[in-house]
Every structure is written in structure tokens, then in C-alpha cells.
Amino acid sequence: MELDLGEIRKNIDAIDDQLLELFKQRMGLTRKVAEYKAAHNMVVFQSEREKAIIRSVRDRSPEELKSSAEFLFTNIMDISKCGQNNAITPAVSIPHGTQIKHTPDVAVQGIEGAYGHAAAQKLFPDGRMNFRASFAEVFEAVENGSADYGVIPVENSTAGEVSVNMELLEKHHVFVNRTVTVPCTHVLAAKHGVKEQDIRILFGHEQAIRQCSEYASSRPELTIIPYANNAMAAQMVAENRSSELGCICSRECAEMHGLDIVNPAIAADPNNATRFFCISKETEVYDGADTIAVSVSLPHISGSLYRMLTKFAVNELDLTKIQSKPLPLEFRTEEDEFMFYLEFSGNVGQPVVLRLLNNFQTEYSYFRFHGNFLAVN
Amino acid sequence: MELDLGEIRKNIDAIDDQLLELFKQRMGLTRKVAEYKAAHNMVVFQSEREKAIIRSVRDRSPEELKSSAEFLFTNIMDISKCGQNNAITPAVSIPHGTQIKHTPDVAVQGIEGAYGHAAAQKLFPDGRMNFRASFAEVFEAVENGSADYGVIPVENSTAGEVSVNMELLEKHHVFVNRTVTVPCTHVLAAKHGVKEQDIRILFGHEQAIRQCSEYASSRPELTIIPYANNAMAAQMVAENRSSELGCICSRECAEMHGLDIVNPAIAADPNNATRFFCISKETEVYDGADTIAVSVSLPHISGSLYRMLTKFAVNELDLTKIQSKPLPLEFRTEEDEFMFYLEFSGNVGQPVVLRLLNNFQTEYSYFRFHGNFLAVN
């Protein structure tokens, strides 16, 4: 006789009761294992025993359940290990509650009026701005102490990640302490008196040009020339006699260089914004810091990624960003070719966070703690 | 009396035996649920029942096990659902085994000698090259049928993702059918007879400049000017009379424009390479295609990402790339703000892959199948 849905579910519920009971018992026993290991100075992770359990589970499962059963038990063991870690790993402490330095020296790429300048002013209203030619020089200035802080764009809502700065973050010994998001309201600017239809050559940073690509394709007669940055393009247009030149820049930047705004709405996305990192040489964690950034390498992407994420899930820490990337050259080995850049919610004042960071440091061959930061409005 | 490690483990093994037995029974029952639902035209996923089970599991667990137990049961239910899906979801078929068109029209950004040109030649030795000013125009040419294929850089081993093209891929109705990786051996080139130390102004694409940043910082007297692309910079240097100009480009590009190679090793990474996508208007799946690319949106990142990855883990499909990104503007809602771009191993000839794709399409509000491709050497 065929069971109806209600009856099948009653049977499932009965099985779930037993599963939960066994799970609780198992967690109690693995806690004992952890205590035993701690008392006898043994490491938590023992891959041989784990492999043997998985082998046996596969052997005892029918073909169509082998991978599901392996997956379930891998999971159960990973949950157990999180419990064991929490029980015995000492929480490393990271200093926090730092004060922002008074009138700090702030390194920014570009020139006055660049979006980076606007971001730095938002972060440091009383900062002494220190303009550098390249992003690498901003990182170097912070690292060698010639600036107290650096302000670096990392992500644009339209154009995506600023890869160069994410790479520089892996290479330099600096930490992220705050982030700020600056709206990028691109305008079309030109010398006083120039009309929109007179403009024949348009300058702007590559990303800005991309964000205004719809406007550009509506005016096929325009020659478009990528420039190192918008503020430099504005300066050049302001200093040039030709009335055929225009540039893409911010409203503030146009005003700063005495240019007219000939078209205030040329960007596809009116909510276009860029996120900046504020970097310092030492870890600085301010009150309210709620996001942590790390990078780790994982040898085999599929299984190991899943198992790494188990640690976040069990500890109820929310991942807010994940990017797989090639590992920086100098750390690449035959086994480790990839890394993951991760951001997650948390504060280094939470023991669960410190234990996770500690566990990452022990378990993965490449591990970088990039900082614990808060978003400034 | 304290138990020793061997005894604790014996107890764990006994529990594992029972867990495995119950898991098998549970999978048998959920299969019956799936069959029942299929027979009565009911959907597989019923979130109310799932929520009730989770609530009850949390209620019956001690404080320190609540999140672990919730996590375990979420997992068990996700594994069950994969099984249910496999049992009842019809596999959608995607045409495959396409032949490459003879002497196709191939759209490439840039000019002769650009890396994109080299990539296109590798993919289509007998193709008619069709140079376009921008990447957007390459996508448009493929979409409106004025080119059979387009060749697009998506990732550089040093400089990272080419974000603009990953965005264009979301916006245009095109599919990826093959990939090719081209080594980018940057050289320093100048007009015939110019010596390295004579060069005062160096041109190159922003990414190329970045890849040669160590060389640049060793020669602080150089003025470096970002150019729209390397091949255009080479053309400009070749046509200019000044002997103070140099450019960063490939060996082939230098030769093509009659320039001397004044320094053959200026890039930081000798293995520097760029990966290109070959795009077409319709899905084309060639013999040996082993990688699938998709984008999906997930409402709440942490839990939902983990649960999405469960589908890959249970089905033993290897993720090879994962990038979280903001969802394209036109698809953004209050709930859905993020998306994930994923690549994984598989072929649309495998039922397990088709079922996964089908499941993604049903479950996530934003889903894009970008193609099933193979890497060409």
C-alpha cells in the first residue's frame, strides 16, 4: 500500500529525532577528544582518521548515495572540528579601540579634485593631503612612514574591482581600518563658453569613459582619449587653448579647475559610487568596526572552499564578499595556485572571530589578515 | 574514570554507524516524497516545512549546539533536495557538438598586433579579422550578426580581472564557447636606432604599465603615459619623429610596426598571460568542452552561498572560479543586490549538470548561463 505524504513525513520526523540525538552525543564525544588532545598536547586535526571514516562511509553506502554520504560525514566532522577548536584554541588578541591621529599626513593618488581627494577629506577633515603619482606610491608612503594614512579606491559600483589595489594590498604590509564610499557623479566639463556640440575630443580616465559609454556612443563624432586620471584631464583642458576639448570629471573637480559643466548627466548610473580603503602601517580597529578582510590560499578549490565556508556557517559569521584569484607569484606552488579574498561581518573583540583567524593562520599555507574596519558615511 | 582516546573513538564509530543507517533511511523516504510530489504535480521545495524542522531542531538543542544542529539539518535537507531534484527534474538539453564556421568574421578590439589579435589568430587561423574601437563594439557586432565571433580579454595573471568585459557579458545576449590563454611578454620598443637610456616618455596600456611597474620605478626619470592600448602606442611611436619615445608592447607587435626591441625583459612576471573568451550569438558547445560559466543572484549572502555550494559538492562538480559582484543595476531589487559569477567543471551532456542548471534557473531570480567551453592551446 502506498503511503501518503503525511505518513512519509511522520517517518522522516522520527528519523530526524534520532539523528539529532546521535549528533548531540557525537558532539559530546568529540569535545572529550578535544579535551584529551589538549591535555596531551596533540593537534586537533588528524587527517588519517578522517580519511578512514570517509572511506568506510563510502564503502557502506549504495552507489547513488556514496557522494551524499561522504559529503554529510565530511560536514559532520567539520562541525565537530569547529567545536573542538572553540573548546581548546586560545583566542589571540588584536589591539582595538585606537584613536585617529590629529591632523595626520594622508597619501592620495592623483591631484586636487580627484575622487580619492574627496574620499580622503571625508575620512580626515583635518588631514594634510599628500598627493602621489601612483597607487603603489601611496602604499609605499604608508609602509615607510612618510604618511600616516593612505586612501585607495578598491571597487566601483559600475566598473567593478580596482584590481591593481587589491594586488598591492597583498604585497604591502599595511592594514585597512576604515572604508568610505564616494558618489561619482560624472559631468562633461569644458572651458568657459564652450558648448557641448563644439567638443570634438573627450578626455577621461578609462573607468570614467566606460561609465559614460552610452553617452559616447550617442555622439560617434567624438574622439575619446583615455587619460591617467580625471582630475589631470580637467587640469589639461583648463590649461589648453583649444575650444574643442572636453573632459569627464566630478562636479567639484570641474569647479576647482574653473571649467563649465556643459552636460551634468552623462553617466549611465546616477548611483555610481566608488569604495575606498583607508590604510595604515599598523592594525587600527575603531569602535564599531564590523567587517573583517582576509586572504587565504586553498589547494583544491571545490572541496576545500566548501569546507572553509563551513567554518563561517557554523560560527554564524556572514560572508559579504568572496573573490577567487591567482595567488601572488611569490607564494605560488604546485599545490597552491589560488587564493580567496574574503570579507565577513565581525569584530576582533569577539572570541569566535579570533579563533577563526587563528584557525585560518594554522590551517592555510597563505593567510593574510587585512584588517577590521568600519564604513564611514 | 577517564576514557582513553581509543575508547572515545570506538564510541564515535558506533554513533557514526547509526547516523549512516538513519541517513540512508531518510534518503529513501525523501525519494518517496519526491515521487509522491511528482505524481501529484507538487513543487519539490516547501520552505514552511523546512523552517518548521529547523525551528524544532534549535528548540531541542542546548545553547552551545543550536547553530551547529541547525547547520547540520539545513545540510541534510539540502542533500535530500539534490536527491529529489535528480529523481524528478527533467534534464533540459542544450545543443552541442557544433562545428566551427569556415573563414568566420571575427571581431577584435584594438589594431593589428594587439594581444587580442594574437588570441583571435590562435582561435581562428583562417578567420577574417575585424578590428573594433571598443570592447562594447565587439559584443554588439556578435549580437547583431555583423561578426560570427568575438574575442575578448577577461583575466590577466598579473593585473586581474578585466571587469568591463565581465560586465558586458552580463548585459549582452552572447555565449562563451572557447577560451585561449596568450602569453603577454612585454618588451620595451622604440624607433630603429634609439637606445634605452634615450627614452624619456613611455607609452603603454594601463595594465601593461602596471605589469612593468618595477622596471618603471627603477627609472624615475621616465614620464609614463597611459595609452588606450599597446598596439596603438606602438603605431604612434613608429609614426612619431621624436627619439625620446618608447612603448610597452609584445615582441610581435614591435616587429609588426618596425620598432626595435630595446629591452626584452621589463615585465615583473615572465609567465604573465591573458585569458580570452571567444563569444558567439548562439550557444555553441564543442567536443571536449569541460567548463561551464553561470551567474546567479542570492538574496542573503552567507547562508545562501553555502547552500548553493552544497549543490556543487553533493553532485561532485568542481568550482574553479567564484566572484561576488553587485548585481547589474537593471536587476537590482531591495532583496537581491549581489550576484556570483561561477565557473565549474562539467559538460551539458551530463544529466547532473543539466539538472543543476535547471535547478538554478528555477530557484534564483537572476540566472545567466554563459556557456560551456573548452580551453584551446
Q: pLDDT value at position B300?
A: 67
Out of A187-191, A285-289, B295-299, give the one with best mean pLDDT.
Answer: A187-191
Q: pLDDT value at position B82?
A: 77
Q: In this structure, what CATH number is given to the domain that contains residue B48?
A: 1.20.59.10
Instruction: Provide the ipTM.
Output: 0.80
Q: What is the 3-state secondary structure (H, E, C) of A148-178?
A: CEEEEEEEECCCEECHHHHHHHHHCCCEEEE
To the nearest whole number, what is the mean pLDDT of chain A?
86
Q: What is the mean pLDDT of residues B256-267?
A: 91
Q: pLDDT value at position A184?
A: 80
Q: In sequence order, what DSSP letters do the residues of A97-111 get, joined into one string?
A: -PPPPSS-EEEEES-
Name the residue facing B22 among A18, A82, A225 (closest C-beta).
A18
Domain count, chain B: 2
Q: pLDDT value at position B96?
A: 60
Q: Which of B61, B88, B115 corresponds to the end of one domain? A: B88
Q: In sequence order, what DSSP letters do the residues of A267-291 get, joined into one string?
A: -S-TT-EEEEEEEESS----TT--E
Q: What is the mean pLDDT of residues B73-93?
A: 71
Report the share of chain B in percent with pLDDT over 90.
42
Q: What is the mean pLDDT of residues A120-144?
A: 93
Q: pLDDT value at position B276?
A: 96
Say if CB B16 and CB A53 are below 8 A apart.
Answer: yes
Q: pLDDT value at position A223?
A: 87
Which chain A residues contact residue B321 at CB under 8 A?
Answer: 324
Give the separation between CA A101 and CA A178, rounded to whole angstroms.
13
On the question of pLDDT at B50 being above 80, the answer is yes
How many other CB atoms sit within 10 Å of the CB of residue A178? Answer: 24
On the question of pLDDT at A300 being above 70, the answer is no
Q: What is the mean pLDDT of residues A133-159?
A: 89
Q: Does residue A376 form part of some domain?
A: no
Q: pLDDT value at position A363?
A: 83
**Residues B301-319 pLDDT 10s:** 667 888 888 888 888 888 9
Q: Which three cell numbers stand for residue B288?
A: 571536449
Q: Does residue B361 form part of some domain?
A: no
**Contact flag A319-B309 (C-beta cutoff 8 Å):** no
- Domain that includes residue A48, residue range: 1-88
Quickly state the pLDDT bin for B84 (edges 50, 70, 90).
low
Q: Calculate how close chain A gets to B260, using CA atoms only, in Å.
A: 26
- In order of A82, A85, A312, B207, the CA distances from A355 in angstroms are 9, 7, 11, 38
Which carries the bigger pLDDT value, residue A11 or residue B212? Answer: A11
Establish if B68 touches chain A: CB-CB under 8 angstroms.
Answer: yes
Q: Does residue B51 form part of some domain?
A: yes
To the nearest whole number, what is the mean pLDDT of chain B?
86
Q: Does residue B285 form part of some domain?
A: no
Tell me which of A160-164, B49-53, B355-359 is least confident.
Answer: A160-164
Report the share of chain B in percent with pLDDT over 70.
92
Q: pLDDT value at position B61?
A: 92
How many other CB atoms sit within 10 Å of the CB of residue A41? Answer: 6
**Residues A160-205 pLDDT 10s:** 777 778 989 998 999 999 999 998 888 999 999 999 999 999 998 8
Quickly state the pLDDT bin for A85 (edges 50, 70, 90).
low
Give the separation between CA A20 and CA A23, rounded to whole angstroms.
5
On the question of pLDDT at B161 being above 60, the answer is yes
Give the separation between CA B71 and CA B77, rounded to whole angstroms.
10
Q: In this structure, what CATH number is given to the domain that contains residue A199?
A: 3.40.190.10
Q: Which of A88, A114, A133 corresponds to the end of one domain? A: A88
Q: Does residue B240 form part of some domain?
A: yes
**Residues A39-53 pLDDT 10s:** 888 776 677 888 899
On the question of pLDDT at A118 being above 60, the answer is yes
Q: Does residue B220 form part of some domain?
A: yes
Q: Does residue A15 form part of some domain?
A: yes
Q: pLDDT value at position B97?
A: 60
On the question of pLDDT at B12 being above 90, the answer is yes
Nearest-by-CA chain A residue for B321: A324
On the question of pLDDT at A301 being above 70, the answer is no
Tell me which of A207-221, A325-339, B346-360 is least confident.
Answer: A325-339
Is B198 exposed, middle or buried (CB count within 10 Å of its CB: 0-12, 13-18, 19+)?
A: middle
**Contact flag B12-A3 (C-beta cutoff 8 Å):** no
**Contact flag B73-A20 (C-beta cutoff 8 Å):** yes
Give the separation between CA B275 and CA B155, rounded to whole angstroms.
5
**Contact flag B20-A73 (C-beta cutoff 8 Å):** yes
Q: Which helix (H) or strand (E) holds A209?
A: helix A206-211
Q: Which of B35, B60, B88 corresponds to the end of one domain? A: B88
Q: pLDDT value at position A302?
A: 65
On the question of pLDDT at B87 being above 60, the answer is no
On the question of pLDDT at A130 being above 80, the answer is yes
**Contact flag A61-B306 (C-beta cutoff 8 Å):** no
Nearest-by-CA chain A residue for B15: A22
**Residues A59-81 pLDDT 10s:** 999 988 888 898 889 889 888 88
Q: Does residue B242 form part of some domain?
A: yes
